Amino acid sequence: MNDRAVPRALVMLLLTAAAVIVLAGIKAIDSIVGPVVLALVLTIAVSPIRSWLTRRRAPGWLVVLVPLSVVLVVLLGMVATLTAAVVQMAVLLPGYAPQFDKLVADAQKWAAGHGIAPQVNKALQSLDPGKIFEFAQGLLSSVLGVVSSLFLVVVLLLAMSLDAPVLSRVMSAAAAERPTLTRALTTFAHKTRRYILVSTIFGLVCAALDVVALYLLQVPLPLLWGVLALITNYIPNIGFVIGLVPPALLGLLAGGVKTMLLVIAAYVLINVVVQSFIQPKFLGDAVGLTTSVTFLSLIIWAMVLGPLGALLAIPLTLLTRALLIDSDPGAKWSAALISGEIPADRPRS
């Protein structure tokens, strides 16, 4: 088939329909796809440790055990921290019911003084102090859901760690016969590692500064919000806003409007300076995606895989690019559209 036999518009419609069908299929088995992709990304993240051990002729069992142990320690430590902190939050939040009632009364008084009492009262009627406890219970249930799927992630990590040395040799052997595909997958792994490394380093910096600021402002559970800030740092574009909402609301309950505004100001100052001015200089071309494509990928993968899709939006998009675009020698202009980089070997006019 060529462009004359099949109109380009029809080709685009068929590709769009195929993409919708594939995404719907992934969404139907998101409980499996999400842990698989997470295990793959974590396995790729520690592959330099595996390569370092291999170059030093370490025993095979050590090449598998050390990277797996590093991933498990980090993963289990983060889950344990979140679980302990959310349990504390479930106990703490119901005690703020009096403060909640006072805030509601102050809002009604302010609205009455400005002549907008009916509108404000209608909005406040939907608020219920009992929802604070329900919110805490919902957070606890979400964490327990993550813990329940953690077993699958650990099993997948073990399987992928065992297969990683073999797959590495297969990729090296396939480079001669499938150079484009091998190069695309290698680039995907390299960009994923660099993205994770840079995001983790600056996420830790932001999280540490956020914890210090929340501690100075006497916002309860600063460690929980620091871990949340680290996790949401992997969500492109809107991650820091998601991490800001819970401590800002708790600051409002614990210290009033002034504390909430100080929390917002501290988060904006820390995250905007680090993520907008410093982090991009180190990240460079690690992602290779335009801002529009990055934001669109966040929406799509969050819709398909839920919160885990938002966390893995960049690696998932890089994998999709490697399989569908970078592995095709004739798709260099498609790659340029999503990366914003004009191919170097373009013909001169």
Closest CA to 207 of 251, 238, 239: 239
Average pLDDT value for residue range 53-65? 84
Residues contacting 160, CB < 8 A, separation 6+? 39, 40, 43
pLDDT at 121: 59
Q: Which pair of structure tokens corresponds to residue 273?
A: 């300076």
Are the CB atoms for 210 and 218 separated by under 8 Å?
Answer: no
Is residue 78's pLDDT more than 60? yes
Distance, in Å, from the CA atom of 228 to the CA atom of 115, rounded to the nearest integer, reads 39
pLDDT in tens, 288-316: 777 788 888 888 998 898 878 888 888 99
Average pLDDT, the chain: 78
Is residue 348's pLDDT more than 50? no
pLDDT at 208: 92
pLDDT in tens, 261-276: 999 999 888 887 877 7
Q: Please give the share of the chain, as a percent, with pLDDT higher than 90.
A: 5
Closest CA to 312 of 21, 38, 7: 38
pLDDT in tens, 148-175: 677 788 888 888 888 888 887 888 777 7
pLDDT at 146: 57
Is residue 349's pLDDT more than 50? no
- Which one has a higher pLDDT value, 168 or 72? 72
pLDDT in tens, 185-244: 888 888 888 888 888 888 898 899 999 999 999 888 888 888 888 888 888 777 778 788
Average pLDDT value for residue range 123-145? 53
pLDDT at 239: 77
pLDDT at 212: 93
For the CA atoms of 216, 219, 260, 253, the dihedral, rounded to the nearest 10 degrees, stands at -150
What pTM was computed for the model? 0.77
Are the CB atoms for 298 and 242 separated by under 8 Å?
Answer: no
pLDDT in tens, 105-118: 666 666 666 556 56
pLDDT band of 131, cuts 50, 70, 90: low
